[in-house]
């Protein structure tokens, strides 16, 4: 064969192989450049429609779904496994779902494998699914679906959502509506924030566009200083965050707040509770409604507050700075110490205030009034500037203003001051004054400002009156005035001072006694026994009964027997009769108006008209109007008739004669004057 034919033959054989390769290369190079450029840009505007019923294996596939010139979503997969049940099976998938407007953020889904339904464009991903719902929220799960028609991303299995540096949420399944921003978590929901705030519930709904959330199936919210538990809840969230600004919990709510210094713990129960959270995640304010019960447990004390409504403001450490309780508020301040009012305020310093209809009970002491102010401590102080009633044991009192101090350990009254129109009543006394001060556990009361005190026996006025329930005694000072009760003729006594115990009253300094218009006694000291109807007068005694006047050092008067006993420098006058002695007894008739008998002993001097008599004893008989003098001897002088001496002399006012008797044959001497 010629050389030319051999060369041509070989060239044809080479071209048969090379030309197809060259053609393929010429086609492949532009295609590769086209794919390379679009792979780098991944612009959703440069779309490649999803192949129909492709059954071949391909790599690095990118395609988008458009509608009306708007890209709905873009899918990039490293591997396309083809179709199965009209679903395109992809591996190592990255899905971008676009919002309705350019302002809305795109949502991304990354997964090991995904299937795309050719008819509905729904996407289902499995195996280490990671997704991003917005600029701040991302999550991961083992299974995820995207409903193209409703624009809903959901997972039926355990899912974790994160806002880096802010919060983490976990649930058994979740659902997210792209158009509304509504996120639903169900099944063992747990949310934790970076500032140690956590939320747990059976299910939760978060609206990230309107920044609110609801929790059902039991809710538990916990911060660094407090926790709240209830049947359901609602929260106002910080913008695009799971972190709550306010939390509302309803249904059998329980809560607890503890100070970071562990000084006290507040526990609460209610039907409805709202908590306001600080940016740091601490509870700043708590409101509660319906059957509210709050308990403060500290190392050395216990407080409990109940009411229909409660509002508490906390500090940064979780301490309750201010607590307001309304609608039948009741506060246990300590052991056997309770406060009730329409509204009760309390603060971190232990100060408690009420508004109206207030009742404070400390053991057997009860104070009722309007606005109260109480300061807690080892000594509890109480004050009110409104009229208040107070009951302590058998005593009841009221005044315009009340101040009191109590021992917090025993609730015993240390001091009580009631001022302004003070009134009181107990088992022994009742009365009024401008001011009253109670001491020694309330057993001793000092009344000032025109006090008036009465009991069953008398009425007493003075500048100051002091009553002592311990020994059933009293004392009075400055312008003391008492008036007896229960007798036909009241007895009036005035003095500078008085004191009494039981049935005995002792008056001292400038004492005067009046009974009716006919009886008057003056002395420096007067002791009256109401039980025996007796009195004793001492110190410059002057007495006036209707029929006799007398002065003496002492006077002992027995009203029941109608006897007056004078001792010491006695000087008595009855009409024209004067009697001087060291000891005199007067027997009075009914109502002390008439004298039945006068007896003087221990040396007696009697003057009657022109007669003067002396003896060891003198007896005056009012019925016979005769004075009998006895002695050794007795002596009578008469200016007109002379004088007589004897053991027994009788002085008759109506007779000009004197009877003279001597005992045992003694001499009787009579002297008559001689007319010149």
User: Cβ-count burial of 575 within 10 angstroms (0-12 exposed, 13-18 middle, 19+ buried)?
Assistant: exposed
Instruction: Give the residue from 553, 555, 486, 485 showing the smallest Cα distance to 519.
Output: 555
- What tokens appear for 624 in the block? 């016979």
Q: How would residue 9 be classed by pLDDT, with cut points 50, 70 and 90? A: very low
User: C-alpha 295: how far from its chain's center?
Assistant: 12
Coil, helix or strand for 592?
helix
Contact call for residues 344 and 312 (beta carbons, < 8 A): no
pLDDT at 671: 54
Contact call for residues 618 and 581 (beta carbons, < 8 A): yes
Q: How would residue 560 be classed by pLDDT, with cut points 50, 70 and 90? A: confident
Q: What is the pLDDT of residues 402-417, one digit of tens each?
A: 999 988 888 888 889 9
Coil, helix or strand for 413?
strand
Core vs surface per residue 41-63: b (16+ CB within 10 A) or e: eeebeeeeebbeeeeeeeeebbb
pLDDT at 409: 82
pLDDT at 506: 95
Residue 1 pLDDT more than 90? no
Domain boundaries of the chain, sorted by first residue: 47-131, 550-671
Q: What is the pLDDT of residues 76-89, one digit of tens each?
A: 999 888 888 888 89
Contact call for residues 612 and 642 (beta carbons, < 8 A): no
Q: Which residues pair with 132 in a beta bridge?
A: 108, 138
Lowest mean pLDDT: which of 16-25, 230-239, 250-259, 604-613?
Answer: 16-25
Q: What is the pLDDT of residues 225-246, one digit of tens each?
A: 788 889 998 888 887 666 778 8
pLDDT at 72: 86
Residue 38 pLDDT more than 90? no
pLDDT at 44: 40
pLDDT at 59: 84
Inter-CA distances, 623 with 164, 588, 598, 620, Å: 123, 12, 11, 9
What residues contact residue 157 under an 8 Å CB cut-off, 6+ apart? Answer: 141, 142, 143, 172, 173
Q: What is the pLDDT of residues 456-495, one digit of tens each?
A: 888 999 999 999 988 889 999 999 999 988 777 888 999 9
Long-range contacts of 444-449 (CB under 8 A, 24+ apart): 444/468, 444/469, 444/470, 445/469, 447/422, 449/422
Inter-CA distances, 14 with 2, 7, 10, 28, Å: 19, 11, 6, 21
Q: How would residue 13 be classed by pLDDT, with cut points 50, 70 and 90? A: very low
Q: Write the DSSP symbol of residue 118.
A: T
What is the percent of the chain with per-residue pLDDT over 70, rounded to a whole number?
A: 86
Residue 35 pLDDT more than 70? no
509 or 105, higher pLDDT: 509
Q: How would residue 16 be classed by pLDDT, with cut points 50, 70 and 90? A: very low
What residues contact residue 190 under an 8 Å CB cut-off, 6+ apart? Answer: 169, 170, 171, 198, 199, 200
Residue 664 pLDDT more than 60? no
Q: How would residue 659 be classed by pLDDT, with cut points 50, 70 and 90? A: low
Q: Which residue has the tokens 């009579």?
A: 670
Residue 340 pLDDT more than 90? yes
- What tokens appear for 615 in the block? 């003896």
Inter-CA distances, 122 with 15, 56, 73, 75, 148, Å: 50, 22, 11, 12, 5
Terminal-to-terminal C-alpha distance of the chain: 232
pLDDT at 296: 75
Instruction: Give the residue from 579, 584, 576 showing the smallest Cα distance to 610.
Output: 576
Lowest mean pLDDT: which of 20-34, 68-82, 566-580, 591-605?
Answer: 20-34
Coil, helix or strand for 22?
helix
Residue 653 pLDDT more than 80? no
Q: How far apart are CA 585 and CA 556, in angstroms?
A: 9
CATH 2.60.450.10 fits 550-671, yes or no: yes
pLDDT at 21: 36
- What tokens appear for 59 in the block? 């790599």
Contact call for residues 328 and 350 (beta carbons, < 8 A): no
pLDDT at 61: 87
Tally of CA atoms within 13 A in the half-sphere of 259 that contains its CB: 14
pLDDT at 299: 56
Q: What is the pLDDT of residues 185-227, one digit of tens each?
A: 999 999 888 877 888 999 999 887 788 888 999 999 887 778 8
Q: How would residue 319 be classed by pLDDT, with cut points 50, 70 and 90? A: confident
Inter-CA distances, 423 with 130, 386, 445, Å: 81, 14, 12
């Amino acid at each position: 064969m010629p050389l030319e034919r051999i060369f041509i033959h070989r060239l044809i054989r080479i071209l048969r192989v090379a030309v197809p390769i060259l053609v393929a290369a010429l086609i492949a190079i532009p295609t590769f450049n086209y794919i390379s450029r679009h792979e780098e840009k991944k612009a959703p505007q440069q779309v490649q429609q999803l192949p129909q019923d492709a059954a071949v294996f391909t790599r690095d596939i990118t395609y988008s779904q458009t509608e009306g010139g708007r890209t709905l979503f873009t899918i990039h997969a490293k591997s396309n496994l083809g179709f199965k049940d009209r679903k395109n099976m992809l591996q190592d998938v990255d899905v971008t779902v676009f919002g309705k407007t350019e302002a809305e953020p795109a949502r991304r889904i990354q997964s090991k494998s995904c299937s795309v339904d050719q008819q509905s464009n729904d996407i289902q991903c499995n195996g280490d699914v990671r997704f991003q719902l917005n600029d701040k929220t991302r999550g991961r799960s083992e299974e995820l679906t995207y409903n193209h028609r409703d624009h809903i991303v959901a997972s039926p299995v355990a899912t974790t959502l994160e806002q880096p540096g802010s919060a983490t949420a976990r649930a058994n399944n979740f659902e997210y509506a792209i158009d509304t921003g509504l996120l639903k978590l169900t099944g063992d929901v747990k949310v934790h924030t970076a500032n140690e705030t956590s939320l747990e519930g059976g299910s939760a709904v978060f609206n990230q566009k309107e920044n609110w959330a609801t929790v059902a199936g039991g809710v538990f919210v916990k911060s660094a200083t407090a926790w709240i538990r209830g049947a359901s809840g609602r929260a106002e969230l910080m913008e695009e965050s799971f972190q709550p600004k306010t939390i509302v919990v309803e249904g059998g709510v329980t809560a607890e707040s503890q100070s970071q210094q562990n000084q006290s713990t507040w526990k609460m129960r209610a039907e409805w509770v709202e908590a306001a959270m600080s940016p740091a995640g601490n509870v700043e304010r708590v409101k509660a409604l319906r059957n509210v019960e709050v308990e403060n447990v500290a190392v050395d004390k216990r407080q409990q507050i109940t009411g229909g409504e409660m509002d508490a403001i906390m500090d940064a450490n979780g301490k309750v700075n201010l607590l307001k309780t309304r609608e039948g508020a009741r506060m246990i301040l300590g052991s056997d110490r309770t406060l009730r009012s329409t509204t009760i305020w309390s603060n971190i310093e232990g100060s408690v205030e009420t508004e109206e209809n207030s009742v404070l009970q400390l053991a057997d002491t009860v104070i009722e009034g309007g606005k109260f102010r109480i300061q807690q401590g080892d000594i509890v102080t109480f004050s009110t500037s409104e009229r208040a009633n107070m009951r302590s044991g058998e005593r009841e009192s009221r005044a315009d203003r009340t101040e009191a101090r109590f021992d917090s350990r025993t609730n015993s009254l240390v001091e009580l001051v009631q001022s302004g129109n003070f009134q009181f009543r107990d088992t022994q006394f009742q009365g009024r004054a401008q001011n009253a001060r109670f001491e020694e556990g309330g057993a001793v009361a000092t009344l000032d400002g025109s006090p008036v005190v009465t009991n069953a026996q008398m009425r007493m006025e003075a500048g100051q009156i002091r009553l002592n329930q311990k020994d059933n005694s009293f004392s009075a000072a400055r312008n003391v005035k008492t008036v007896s009760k229960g007798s036909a003729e009241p007895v009036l006594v005035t003095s500078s001072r008085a004191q009494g115990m039981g049935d005995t009253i002792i008056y001292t300094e400038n004492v005067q006694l009046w009974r009716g218009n006919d009886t008057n006694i003056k002395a420096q000291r007067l002791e009256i026994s109401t039980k025996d109807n007796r009195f004793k007068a001492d110190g410059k005694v002057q007495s006036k009964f209707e029929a006799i006047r007398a002065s003496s050092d002492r006077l002992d008067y027995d009203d029941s027997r109608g006897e007056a006993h004078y001792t010491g420098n006695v000087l008595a006058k009855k009409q024209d009769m004067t009697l001087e002695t060291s000891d005199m007894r007067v027997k009075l008739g009914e109502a002390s108006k008439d004298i039945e008998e006068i007896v003087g002993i221990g040396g007696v001097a009697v003057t009657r008209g022109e007669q003067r008599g002396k003896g060891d004893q003198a007896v005056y008989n009012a019925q016979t109007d005769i004075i009998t003098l006895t002695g050794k001897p007795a002596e009578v002088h008469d200016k007109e008739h002379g004088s007589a001496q004897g053991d027994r002399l009788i002085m008759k006012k109506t007779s000009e004669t004197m009877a003279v008797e001597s005992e045992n044959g003694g001499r009787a001497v009579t002297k008559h004057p001689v007319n010149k």
